[in-house]
Every structure is written in structure tokens, then in C-alpha cells.
Amino acid sequence: MPVFALIGKEWKLLLRDWHALLLLFAMPAVFILVMSLALQDQFAAHQRVNIHYYLVDEDQSAVSRALVQQLDDMKDFSALPSGAPVAKLLDLVRNDRTQFLVRIPAGFGKAMLTARPSQLEMRAGPGVEPAMYELFAAALRSALAHVYLRQLMAPLDTQPPVAGSVPAEASGLSVADKLLNAQSLYQAGSENQRPSSVQQNVPAWLLFAMFFIAIPLSTTWVQERQQGTYARLRSMGVRPGDLLLGKLLPYLGINLLQVALMLAIGVFVVPLLGGGRLALGHSPLALCLMALAVSFASVAYALLIANMVTTSEQATIFTGVANLLMAAIGGIMVPRFLMPAAMQTLSQYSPMAWGLEGFLDVFLRQGGLGEVVPEAARLFGFGLICLLVAGILLGARQRK
């Protein structure tokens, strides 16, 4: 039957493009390993969720100590040493280095049972996801309710009831609302505004999409090489540098158009569909610099892949899986703060992480040029190294 001949032929062809086959098997294996490591803390049955917060007790009263004790007992959150000034700690949270800051103001304990109580301050980083924000706020409310009831019943020398076993009004939870002042440090417009999921997710997926420019670029490059067009161009005296530049600039343009289109969708289309409107931050220059840096890095990386592979199949598979890997390591798929410490360290070396941090600086932290320059510089450096290696590989291939 012809189908057997066809199947036999296909097996032989597959087995003989061993580079592609290796990529097909090896890279998903690496991907699974990376994702498993990145999420290991999340899925480990006996481990806590790795969420940290700074706790500043300015009250130093019996009430505040009781509250600190309550917070210490929370299973999924752990306090970090917080000897630095509050302003410094707030900066760290604003930059998403740590997710939360909890401040017990002076006089908090004394004013708790009065008509005008002080409020416990909770500040969340702009990158904190809504579910995490609510979870932490709920935990604080629960601790506040417990301490409040204990205070209320102290004259009666009675233990407070377990939260949830009595109506909310009686358990102190409604009072806890008044005792908590929770805010995101996201400062797009009005005070106490929290970033929408559009605001938090667009930077990550924008970045992810930009790196996929490597597929069309590298496959086109391979085709041109196979057609003999590059040999002809070289015989015409066209330099390898011109060949690289001739690809780099148009694809840079395409990449930037891609950015503009995706941002326009976030700003104009998503609100029409009922979603939150994307705010573009306060610094158009910072946004432009980051877009240019990510574009340059992704197109140069694409040129490197194009000069590493020999077939279009290899280019497609390698790019696809390498992008997924970079995204996994870079915090696109799993937020970096959820990763184990070792993975977080590794994450610092992923160009996607630099791009993501830069975009988050612009979109979530209202950063300006000064804030994004370090990430942009790293991306430009990465792009230059990619171009250099691509040029060396191109020269070596020409001598074969």
C-alpha cells in the first residue's frame, strides 16, 4: 500500500534531520524542567506560598505586639526584616521587589476602641495580582478582627470567638474594614487606584509577542541562503554587515509597529469589550526607549538564530521553544516572586526579564527614562552580542 511507503519515507526524513528532532525532544524537556522548577514552591504540598512583606511597628504597644503575633501566625506570608526607613521600604514595594508593606502607626493600640481609630496601613506593589492583593487584605482583616475582639473582651477576661463562627458584625470583621487602609502603590491617576489586569498583563504578553519576530526572520534568512541569493549578493560585493543591517532595520520597524498595534488594542479595543483601559504611563520617552531596546534585542536574537540553524524547520522549532523557555525563566508565565530563590537568580539573566521589568517600570510604576535605562542598556548589550556572534557565524559559513 502506498501509505506504508509514505510513512516509511517520513520516518527516514525525520530521523535524518536530527537537529530538528533533537530540538523537538530536548527543548520541551528543558521547558518542562524549567516550568516545574519555577512553580515548585507553588505546588509543593507542605511548603508555604512565598509571599513576603515588610512590617513596621511604630506603635510598639501591647495591641500592636498582639497584632504582629497574629500576622506571624499567618501561614502563607512571612515578614522580612524591616530596619530601613519607611520611605525606603515603600520604594522597594513600589518597585515590586517585595509585594507588601504593613505599617502599624503610633497610637494604633490606644485608639483602637475609640470612635476615631487609627488605621493599619497596607501598601501593595503595582505588580501584585488582584487575587494576591485580596488574599493579603483578607488575612490582615482577620488578624485585626481577632485583636479587636480581644481588646473589646479584655475587661470580661474572655477568649475571642474563632473568626467565622459568629456573624460578621459580631466577629469584628466589619470593624476591621475600618481599621485597615489598603492601597496599591500603582499611581496612574486617582489615589488608591489599583492596576487592572490589562495593565499588569499587557507588558508581559507584548514582550512575548515581540520575541516571536525570530520565526519569520530566521526562516526567510534560511530560504534566501538556500536559494543562493546571499552567495549572489556576496559576489556583488555586498558585505555581511550590510546583509545583517538589511534585515535588522525592516524587522525593527515591524516589531515597533507590533508594539503600537498591541498598545492601541489595550487602549482602545479592550475597553470596548468591557475590560480595563491600558494606561501608557507617564513617560512616552521611556516607553519608546524600552520598545526600541526590546525590538533591537529580539531582532538581533532572531539574526543569531538564523545564522545558527541550517533548515527552516530548525529555525521554527528552536525559536518557538527557546522563546517559551526565556518566557518561563523571565517571569512572563510565572511571576518572578513566586519562583524559588535559585530560579529568581537565574531569571536575572533572561532578556525577557529585563524587558518585562522595563515595561513594568513604565506601565505600572510610572517610571521615567532614568528608571528604564538600566534595563534598556542590558537589552542593547544583549542585542549587540547577538549581532556580533551572528556576524562571526555568517563569516564562518561563507568560508565553507
Partner 1 sequence: MIQIEDLRFRYPGAGRDAIGGLSLRIREGSLFGLLGPNGSGKTTLISILTGLLSAASGRVLVDGKALPARAREVQAFCALVPQEYAFYPRLNVIENLRFFAGALGIPVTAVKARVEEALGVAGLDAFQTTRAAHLSGGLKRRLNLAIGLLNRPRLLFLDEPTVGIDPQSRRFILEAIKRINQHGTTVVYTSHYMDEVELLCDEIGVLDSGRLLAQGTLEQLLQGDSGHSLIVSLSAAPSLPQQAHLSEISGLETDQNRLRIESCTDAQLKQLVALLAGEKLGIARMQYGYGNLEELFLHLTGRQLRD
Residues 36, 60, 69, 227: which binds partner 1 (CB under 8 A)? 227
Complete DSSP assignment for 36-98: HHHTHHHH-TTS---EEEEEEESS-SHHHHHHHHHHHT-SSEEEEP--S-HHHHHHHHHTTSS
Cβ atoms of residues 366 and 281 within 8 Å: yes
CB of 221 to partner 1, least distance (A): 13
Q: For residues 16 and 400, which CB has a smaller minimum distance to partner 1 in the complex? A: 400
Cell representation of residue 104: 502599624
- Check binding of 397 to partner 1 (CB under 8 A): no
Write the single-letter amino acid at 278. Answer: L
User: CB of 238: closest distance to partner 1 in angstroms?
Assistant: 5
Tell the residue number behind the cell numbers 541550517, with chain if given: 310
Sole window of 15-23, 53-61, 229-237, 267-275 interacting with partner 1 (rule: CB under 8 A): 229-237
Among 231, 257, 260, 261, binds partner 1 (CB under 8 A): 231
> With binding defined as CB under 8 A, does residue 189 bind partner 1?
no
List, in sequence order, every residue forming a beta bridge with 180; answer none if it has no partner: 120
113 vs 396, which CB is nearer to partner 1? 396
Distances (CA, A) of 257 to 152, 260, 311: 61, 5, 28
Q: Of 236, 272, 273, 341, which lies in the binding site for partner 1, with binding defined by CB under 8 A?
A: 236
Residues 6+ apart with CB under 8 A from 192: 183, 184
- Characterise 79 by phi-psi region: left (phi > 0), alpha (psi -120 to 50), beta (else): beta
- Which CB sits closer to partner 1, 266 or 391? 391
33 is a contact residue toward partner 1 (CB under 8 A) = no
C-beta of 234: minimal distance to partner 1 in Å?
6
**Least Å from the CB of residue 331 to partner 1:** 38
Secondary structure (3-state) at 184: strand
Q: In whole angstroms, what is the distance from residue 170 CA to residue 163 CA?
A: 10
User: Alpha-carbon distance 34 to 325, whole Å?
Assistant: 7
Q: Is 29 in the site for partner 1 (CB under 8 A)?
A: no
Min CB(89)–partner 1 separation in Å: 58
Using the rule CB under 8 A, give the single segment among 80-88, 108-116, 222-230, 277-285 that binds partner 1: 222-230
Contacts of 7 (CB under 8 A, 6+ apart): none
Our CB check for partner 1 shows the closer of 187 and 312 to be 312
Map residues 282-311 to x or -, x wherever contact with partner 1 holds by CB under 8 A. Answer: ------------------------------
Report, in Å, the least distance between residue 257 CB and partner 1: 20
- Does position 250 interact with partner 1 (CB under 8 A)? The reply is no
Binding of partner 1 by 399 (CB under 8 A): yes
Please choose, from the candidates 110, 5, 134, 113, the residue with its C-alpha nearest in 3D space to the C-alpha of residue 62.
110
Q: Tell whether residue 131 is a contact of partner 1 (CB under 8 A).
A: no
**45 vs 236, which CB is nearer to partner 1?**
236
DSSP code string of 195-232: --HHHHHHHHHHHHHHHTTHHHHHHHHHHHHHHTHHHH
Residue 273 class from Cβ within 10 Å (0-12 exposed, 13-18 middle, 19+ buried)? exposed
Q: In 10 A of CB 391, how many CB atoms?
A: 18
User: What's the residue count for the chain?
Assistant: 400
Site for partner 1 (CB under 8 A): how many residues? 15
Nearest approach in angstroms of CB 386 to partner 1 is: 24
Q: How far apart, in whole angstroms, are the C-alpha atoms of residue 376 and residue 370? A: 10
Query: In the set 134, 232, 284, 395, which binds partner 1 (CB under 8 A)?
Result: 232
Query: In angstroms, how far apart are the furthest CA atoms of the chain?
Result: 97
Q: Which of 85, 164, 228, 370 binds partner 1 (CB under 8 A)?
A: 228
Confirm or reject binding of residue 254 to partner 1 (CB under 8 A).
no
111 binds partner 1 (CB under 8 A): no
**Residue 234 within binding range of partner 1, rule CB under 8 A:** yes
Residue 12 is a binding residue for partner 1 (CB under 8 A): no
The residue within the footprint of partner 1, chosen from 233, 280, 373, 389 (CB under 8 A), is: 233
238 makes contact with partner 1 (CB under 8 A): yes
Which residues of the chain form contacts with partner 1 (CB under 8 A)? 224, 227-229, 231-238, 398-400
